[in-house]
Amino acid sequence: MKVKDWMSRSVVSLDLSSSLEDIARVMREGKISSVVITDGGKPVGMITERDLVIKVIAKGLDYKSLRAKDIMSFPLITINKDKELEEAANLMIMKGIRRLVVIEDETKQMVGIITTSDIARSLAKEESLLLKAIALYHEEGY
């Protein structure tokens, strides 16, 4: 199974200079847990709900004076859309992250995002298909 088959194509991104207030509002309104941070349209980092909590709130920082560039996680870890899901899962485990920005290899353009939830969903579907195949196998008397 390929990353491109399970990634989400709708990726929310904001500029390096975006306020944390704007980022939090976009997350709330979009019901999303992360945004990709761009510099001149190029993805350079990511901010998650966890970043807002750990890097700002837990430290008692004044969120109104901070910008995306101040707390984003970088360098951005990416994966090619044509890679296997197993490679994406291994990369997430190695890096201790839950999301990867998906890129088009030739253009290096951002084409999606894949999360641990996407990978779990793919495994659940694979298991369901396997169970159906086993049931069919037994129904046919093999």
- Only one residue has tokens 């253009």, namely 107
Helical axes 116-139 vs 85-95, angle rounded to 10°: 140
Longest dimension (CA), the chain: 69
Q: Domains of the chain by range and CATH?
A: 3-115 (3.10.580.10)
pLDDT digits (tens, 9 = 90+) for 48-91: 999 999 999 999 999 999 999 999 999 999 999 999 999 999 99
Supply 13's token pair.
């991104």
* pTM confidence score: 0.82
CA atoms within 13 A on the CB side of 25: 8
